[in-house]
DNA sequence: ACCCAGGGTCATA
DNA sequence: TATGACCATGGG
């Protein structure tokens, strides 16, 4: 919680959405969540723009267009054949649920279950869609979050997705809300690097590339960021 | 010519 | 259950 307060106090004035600009609707978020898998948002956004320009950012289009067409449009985001298949899978799943409205009318549990049953959607992508497209209180655990918090010497004992998620949800239970989960995750993604750099209590860890430049800092300058559990 | 990047699936042991 | 190969492209 103190970590969140530190981040939020510092960056309160800026937008915190992890998908800037293009993700204006739920379909953009759903598609973006798949495109960003194992790559940088920069590339996912390019692919998203290409889909949009081609009029393919639409459930019906994604469910019916030839796979090669989708592949060509999203190539820049990497693993195009895989991601084209995954986009088709989620489009089919949404249509199978009775369309986007019916899909979003599902309960939290039903929605997550349907997402996880979709080929190519695992816990992180499911939670990203839950939180950012459907507005459900699902805390997203991604590589940035794990790296940043491990670097700060925080986090659960075990390393599994569920353990990380419980760590955050339990630490935030008194203040949990969709908006806070979105802001917190966004802050970590956008500012995790600086958080590592500016935190005196950072511990050495050669396994964390984006923080490795802060390795030897122990008496770091005071930036107003103070760490605490959860 | 390396290395990595916000994941997930599948085949092994 | 757990570990590793694989996907494939762009940038440092």
Q: What is the pLDDT of residues A149-186, one digit of tens each?
A: 988 889 999 999 999 999 999 999 999 999 899 989 98
| A49 and A86 assigned to the same domain | yes
Residue A135 pLDDT more than 80?
Answer: yes
Mean pLDDT of A75-103: 98
Residue A220 pLDDT level (bands cut at 50, 70, 90): very low
Residue A12 pLDDT more than 80?
Answer: no
| A146 and A107 assigned to the same domain | no
pLDDT at A24: 72
Domain annotation covers residue A70: yes
Nucleotide whose C1' lies closest to the alpha carbon of residue A116: B8
Nucleotide whose C1' lies closest to the alpha carbon of residue A146: B6
Domain ranges, residue A48: 26-133
pLDDT at A205: 36
- End-to-end Cα, chain A, rounded Å: 5
| Strand B–CB A117 distance below 7 A | no
The C-alpha atoms of residue A132 and residue A134 are separated, in whole angstroms, by 6
Nucleotides of B under 7 A from a protein CB: 4-10
Average model confidence (pLDDT) across chain A: 83
3-state class of A182 per DSSP? helix
| A168 and A120 assigned to the same domain | no
Domain annotation covers residue A230: no
Nucleotide whose C1' lies closest to the alpha carbon of residue A83: C7
- Full-model pTM: 0.87
| Strand B–CB A39 distance below 7 A | yes
pLDDT at A214: 33
The C-alpha atoms of residue A150 and residue A137 are separated, in whole angstroms, by 23
Domain annotation covers residue A21: no
């Amino acid at each position: 919680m103190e970590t969140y307060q530190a981040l939020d106090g510092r960056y309160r004035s800026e937008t915190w959405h992890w998908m800037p600009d293009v993700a204006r609707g739920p379909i953009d978020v759903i598609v973006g969540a798949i495109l960003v898998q194992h790559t940088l948002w920069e590339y996912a956004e390019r692919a998203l723009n290409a889909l949009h320009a081609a009029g393919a950012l639409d459930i019906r289009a994604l469910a019916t267009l030839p796979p090669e067409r989708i592949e060509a449009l999203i190539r820049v985001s990497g693993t195009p054949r895989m991601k084209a298949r995954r986009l088709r899978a989620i489009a089919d799943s949404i249509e199978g649920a009775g369309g986007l409205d019916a899909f979003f009318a599902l309960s939290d549990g039903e929605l997550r279950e349907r997402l996880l049953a979709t080929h190519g959607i695992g816990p992180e992508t499911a939670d990203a869609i839950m939180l950012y497209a459907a507005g459900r209180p699902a805390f997203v655990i991604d590589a940035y979050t794990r790296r940043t918090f491990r670097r700060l010497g925080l986090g659960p004992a075990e390393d599994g997705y569920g353990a990380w998620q419980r760590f955050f949800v339990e630490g935030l239970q008194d203040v949990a809300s969709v908006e806070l989960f979105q802001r917190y995750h966004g802050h970590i993604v956008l500012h995790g690097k600086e958080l590592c750099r500016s935190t005196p209590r950072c511990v050495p860890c050669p396994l964390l590339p984006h923080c490795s430049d802060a390795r030897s800092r122990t008496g770091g300058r005071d930036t107003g960021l103070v760490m605490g559990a959860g």
